[in-house]
Structure 1
């Protein structure tokens, strides 16, 4: 596999939580129902949502930050092992395919009031 792009993003958790608090509809605009739901069906805490937002931003950066991509077309999933994974469709999948991206690597973390995500977009060797 060849690296087609990399992206990284950091989010201030407190500022992100305050933004969500000021605009209650923003969470559903940014995240799918699956991303919002945490253990027991409760909404994920702000630090987890901030990391997921950072992942979506990192995906956009790995793809060269093109305009027109929809937030819900990039979804952060949690594998049975607990590892994060990405599902792309629609506008994001179209841009990824045009750039030769066939798979993704994702790492996320949050600590000390900051959430971070790092994405590697991979494709077949030329």
Structure 2
């Protein structure tokens, strides 16, 4: 197994808060799956939680080296939480296809936040395809 990519992203919590306040459900429905929205809850940490997931999705795409190209949608990446609290990456549709083409089979993901910032780091591991 080899590290095939690494991505990191940082977002300002206030920017995510403003997007949600301006667009309401539109922003959330476009960027987050139903599972991600439901897990975020409704307490004071909801915005921090969503900002962390937003940063994590950006970090995953950077690790894949694609950015938001090739027909990828925000909801093609879902950031789940294991019972241990550890975040995990689940890919769907075009993201899943690209990851398979790149040989990515394992993701290591870390998310952290303060009141002002959320940061995420994603490491893609697998066996690169034969050239």
Q: Report if TM-score (shorter chain) is over 0.5.
A: yes
Counterparts of 2:114 and 2:42, CA distance in 1: 21
Where does the alignment leave 5 or more consecutive residues of structure 2 unmatched?
Answer: none
State yes or no: 1:32 paired with 2:24. Answer: no
* Equivalent residue number for residue 86 of structure 1: 89
Alignment of 1:30-109 (within 5 A): 30-38=31-39, 42=42, 45-66=46-67, 67=69, 68-109=71-112
Identify unmatched segments of 5+ residues in structure 1: none
Number of aligned pairs?
A: 125
* Structure 1 match to 2:20: 20
Larger deviation, residues 19-28 vs 42-51: 42-51
The list of structure 1 runs, each at least 4 consecutive aligned residues, that deviate by more than 6 angstroms after superposition, is none
Work out the CA distance in 2 between the residues paired with 1:116 and 1:16. 13
In 1, distance between residues paired with 2:64 and 2:127?
16
Q: Secondary structure at the match of 2:104?
A: coil
Q: TM-score, normalised by structure 1?
A: 0.92
Is the aligned partner of 1:111 residue 2:114? yes
SS at match of 1:37: helix
Cα deviation digits, residues 12-54 of structure 1 (max 9, x gap): 0011111111011111110001101137x54761111000000
- Answer whether contact 2:48 2:115 (CA < 8 A) is retained: no
Q: Secondary structure at the match of 1:80?
A: coil
- Structure 2 CA distance, aligned partners of 1:33 and 1:71? 12
Secondary structure, in 3 states, of the residue corresponding to 1:118? strand
